[in-house]
Amino acid sequence: MKIMPVEIQQQQFKVRFRGFDVKEVDNFLEQLADTFELLQQENKKAQDEIQRIKLESQGYKEREETFKRAMLNSQKVLDQMKENARKSAELIVANAEVKAEKILNRAHKRLAQLHDDISELKRQRIQIEVQIRSIIESHTKLLEVGNEGIKAMDEEDTKLKFLQHQS
């Protein structure tokens, strides 16, 4: 049964001979109702804060999942680029071996182009890795900021529990 502060304030007791002091009982009930109302307000604030933290945590989880998917996609792209570069190199080497005597000069030119392509792919890979590291660092910082906020709230909760136990 949920008791409201107003019910405490309006509670009436029968007066009997040699009973309690009515003013003293009324004062006590008034204090009890005020304290009860404060506790209800604090409880509501705590529940609101818990809900806010849950929503914030869900947002972090969603961002983490998005980040994981982005990393997996980036890895697939990198693997595909490596495989394409490997296949291209194998194909060119095979053609160069078959036609080596007839088109030696052309083969050297093509090999130089492949080295340029590989260098460009390596540059692109390095650039993607730098971008991924940057994303990881920014998300890590976001998580650290969130954890600091949660720690601060946990400390506040601990203080509140301590104060409540002191009451």
Q: What's the rounded Cα separation, in Å, for the pair 83 and 81?
A: 5
User: Is 165 contained in some domain?
Assistant: no
Looking at the 3D structure of the chain, how many domains does it have? 1
pTM over 0.85: no
pLDDT band at 115; cut points 50, 70, 90:
very high
pLDDT band at 167; cut points 50, 70, 90:
low
Identify whether the C-beta of residue 143 lies closer than 8 Å to the C-beta of residue 62: no
User: Is 15 contained in some domain?
Assistant: no
Q: What is the pLDDT of residue 107?
A: 67
Q: What's the rounded Cα separation, in Å, for the pair 160 and 163?
A: 5
Q: What is the pLDDT of residue 1?
A: 57
Neighbours of 109 (CB within 10 A): 11
- Please report, in angstroms and rounded to a whole number, the separation of the first and last CA atoms in the chain: 23
Amino acid identity, position 124: Q
Dump the DSSP string for 115-142.
HHHHHHHHHHHHHHHHHHHHHHHHHHHH
Per-residue pLDDT reduced to its tens digit, 52-103: 999 999 999 999 999 999 999 999 999 999 999 999 999 988 877 777 777 6
Per-residue pLDDT reduced to its tens digit, 6-57: 777 777 777 777 777 778 888 888 888 888 889 999 999 999 999 999 999 9
User: Is 128 contained in some domain?
Assistant: yes
Q: What's the rounded Cα separation, in Å, for the pair 76 and 82?
A: 10
What is the span of the domain harbouring residue 141? 22-154
User: Is 48 contained in some domain?
Assistant: yes
User: Is 162 contained in some domain?
Assistant: no
The closest of 130, 138, 147, 155 to 67, measured between CA atoms, is: 138
Q: What is the pLDDT of residue 161?
A: 77
The CA-based dihedral angle spanning residues 29, 30, 31, 32, taken in that order and rounded to the nearest 10 degrees: 40
User: Is 2 contained in some domain?
Assistant: no
